[in-house]
Amino acid sequence: MTALPTRKLEAYRYADIDALASVWSELAPAERVGIAAQQKLQQIWLPNGDEVEVRRVEMTLQTGAIARIFALNNAARYGRIELDVTMHDGADFALYGANIGGSNSTLEIVTTLRHIAPGATSRQTVRSVLGGKATGSFLGRIEVAREGQQTDAEQSVKAMLLDRGATANAKPELEIFADDVKCAHGATVGELDRNQLFYAAARGLGPVAARALLLEGFVAGLWDDIEGDDLGIAELAREALRKVAA
Amino acid sequence: MLKIEDLHATVAGKPILNGLTLTVPTGEIHAIMGPNGAGKSTLAYVLGGRPGYEVTEGSVTFDGRDLFAMEPHERAAAGMFLGFQYPVEIPGVSYLQFLRESLNSQLRARGEKELSGAEFIRLSKDKAALLGMDAEMLKRPVNVGFSGGEKKRAEMVQMGIMDPKLAILDETDSGLDIDALKAVGAGINAIMRDPQKSVLLITHYQRLLDYVTPDQVHVLSKGRIVRSGGPELAHELEREGYAEAAA
């Protein structure tokens, strides 16, 4: 077992170290997921209901492999999703993640994407909705090796703060050694629009219902690309939004 | 239906309404006309309860109740509809979901039965047809990508769905071409011309009044009603301008 990390480590900069300490000794090593050449994998990550939940995954996409990860991160105290992805020729990776929480929760999604071969594509879309004194973070590191020509990497990170005490962090980090690549990242932090809230009120929606509806609009689209059964992730996210809107 | 007495209101500390008195009886359509800056939109927002519009004096009763004792969503549930001059876009939320939740929230507040999905779809199709709007548009996010005219038509579809007792329409005619203007006028008549309902039509121009004949026309200037008269007053204003008519 390695030593408990400190916040001096970049990947733990915004972490709740006390919460992490409470599960550190029994924390399983990172789960390894391999996707064979030309194969496709879809995973839906639901919260397991624990107060503190840390999920660590190391994923390797072989040539032409496709991965679609849909993640709802809303543990009551500390939720951390740590994802390390290595991509071979023409691999195609997408992450759709939501941090939704209130009170004192800390929610973070920390990714490292390694474009080690030509022509791989990665898309990361993360939406955070934070109330109370919650903190939501996305730390997204993209490494493009010298061999990673024609990499197409994109991060879209948006956060909505519902209360003054809530905090959002968005930190893209790009390390690029190839010269023919496309790496785009955009991050915004905002609050609910007053005009929209008044419009909804004028149509009869009470304050909580109006906020919940606008928040649904804010995360809309995250789960659209799920193939087959969504395992209830949309409904769980909706419930989490209603709770944080109340 | 609506009784406004000596209403004073400020926006950001600046007085905009300065002793406005006006009564709209049940079953009547009244138009308020006035130049830019007279306080027309402020009146609409004060009646709707928009945050930031502060009432400093006066009273408003709506259907016998103290309007200012009600929150904006309670005013809607009590039967008031506010048609927006600039309808708001809500990305990610479909019109159908927005309106169904809004309507059901009103019905719940009134202790009435909520509409099922199928009942709501039927209702929204009927009202869209009444306004000459393609019902498919209601599957799109609220007002996103709608033209100016489409937004105003959609406001009227919403009014049809909500079926209010009192509609306050803030420059619903602005930005409309002639066909849309006709459709909106016909929609107002079909939905609101009713002995149990009232309309307060706020407008710059006389042209909407060619399609919706008001029972009374009032001229608003510097935050007060300075003249009132029959429908012919609108024509006089159009001919002579506000400065003359308000003098």
Q: Is A125 domain-assigned?
A: yes
Structure tokens at B59: 């009273």
Q: Is A100 domain-assigned?
A: yes
pLDDT in tens, B132-165: 999 999 999 999 999 988 999 999 999 999 999 9
Q: CB distance A201–B91 less than 8 Å?
A: no
- Whether the CB-CB separation of B52 and B11 falls below 8 Å is answered with yes
pLDDT at B175 over 90: no
Mutation for A interface: B84, B102, B110, most A CBs within 10 A: B102
Q: CB distance A200–B106 less than 8 Å?
A: no
So where are chain B's domains?
2-246
A224–chain B Cβ distance below 8 A for any pair = no
Q: CB distance B92–A209 less than 8 Å?
A: no
DSSP B1-59: -EEEEEEEEEETTEEEEEEEEEEE-TT-EEEEE--TTSSHHHHHHHHHT-TTEEEEEEE
Who among B50, B72, B90 is closest to A217 (CB)?
B90
A207–chain B Cβ distance below 8 A for any pair = yes
Who among B72, B75, B92 is closest to A216 (CB)?
B92
Sheet of strand B80-83: strand arrangement = B80-83, B166-170, B198-203, B29-33, B216-221, B224-229
Residues of B in Cβ contact (< 8 Å) with A205: 73, 101-102, 105
Residues of A in Cβ contact (< 8 Å) with B51: 194, 198
Please return the burial class of A231, using the count of CB atoms within 10 Å of its CB with bins 0-12, 13-18 and 19+: middle
Give how far B77 is from chain A: nearest CA, Å: 6
- Whether the CB-CB separation of B216 and B245 falls below 8 Å is answered with no
Structure tokens at B26: 């049940």
Q: What is the pLDDT of residue A49?
A: 92
CA-CA distances (angstroms) from residue A246 to A90, A136, A163, A165?
A: 45, 18, 12, 16
Who among B88, B92, B106 is closest to A220 (CB)?
B92
How many of the other CB atoms lie within 10 Å of CB of B75? 26
Rounded Cα gap, residues A159 and A155, in angstroms: 13
DSSP A44-63: EE---S-SEEEEEEEEEE-T
pLDDT in tens, A186-241: 999 999 999 999 999 999 999 999 999 999 999 999 999 999 999 999 999 999 99
Q: Is A246 domain-assigned?
A: no
Structure tokens at B10: 């400020």
**In B, what residues contact A, Cβ < 8 A?**
48-51, 71-73, 75-77, 82, 84, 87-88, 90-93, 97-99, 101-103, 105-106, 109, 141, 158, 162
Rounded Cα gap, residues A68 and A43, in angstroms: 6
By C-alpha distance, the chain A residue nearest B88 is A196
pLDDT in tens, chain A (246 residues): 588 999 999 999 999 999 999 999 999 899 999 999 999 999 999 999 999 999 999 999 999 999 999 999 999 999 999 999 999 999 999 999 999 999 999 999 999 999 999 999 999 999 999 999 999 999 999 999 999 999 999 999 999 999 999 999 999 999 999 999 999 999 999 999 999 999 999 999 999 999 999 999 999 999 999 999 999 999 999 999 999 999
ipTM: 0.96
A201–chain B Cβ distance below 8 A for any pair = yes
Rounded Cα gap, residues B203 and B171, in angstroms: 5
Structure tokens at B87: 């309808």
A190–chain B Cβ distance below 8 A for any pair = no
Q: What is the pLDDT of residue B238?
A: 83
CA-CA distances (angstroms) from residue B22 to B28, B62, B84, B197, B227?
A: 13, 12, 21, 17, 11
**Nearest CA among A108, A128, A124 for reference residue A55:** A108
Q: Is A207 domain-assigned?
A: no
Rounded Cα gap, residues A34 and A38, in angstroms: 12
CATH 3.40.50.300 fits B2-246, yes or no: yes
By C-alpha distance, the chain B residue nearest A195 is B88
Q: CB distance B92–A204 less than 8 Å?
A: no
Q: CB distance A201–B73 less than 8 Å?
A: yes
Contacts A–B by Cβ distance under 8 A: 78
The CA-to-CA distance between both ends of chain A, in Å, stands at 41
Task: State whether residue A102 is helix, strand or coil.
Answer: coil
A206–chain B Cβ distance below 8 A for any pair = yes
Who among A198, A201, A216 is closest to B93 (CB)?
A216
Give how far A88 is from chain B: nearest CA, Å: 34
Q: CB distance A202–B92 less than 8 Å?
A: no
Residue-number span of the structural domain to which A86 is assigned:
10-191
Q: Is A111 domain-assigned?
A: yes
Residues of A in Cβ contact (< 8 Å) with B101: 205, 209, 213
Q: Is A108 domain-assigned?
A: yes
Rounded Cα gap, residues A125 and A159, in angstroms: 11
Q: Match 């023409």 to its residue by tokens.
A: A90
Please return the burial class of A204, using the count of CB atoms within 10 Å of its CB with bins 0-12, 13-18 and 19+: buried
- Whether the CB-CB separation of B202 and B169 falls below 8 Å is answered with yes
Count of the separate structural domains present in chain A: 1
Task: State whether residue A235 is helix, strand or coil.
Answer: helix
Rounded Cα gap, residues B234 and B173, in angstroms: 15
To the question of pTM greater than 0.90 for the whole model, the response is yes
Who among B71, B92, B158 is closest to A217 (CB)?
B92
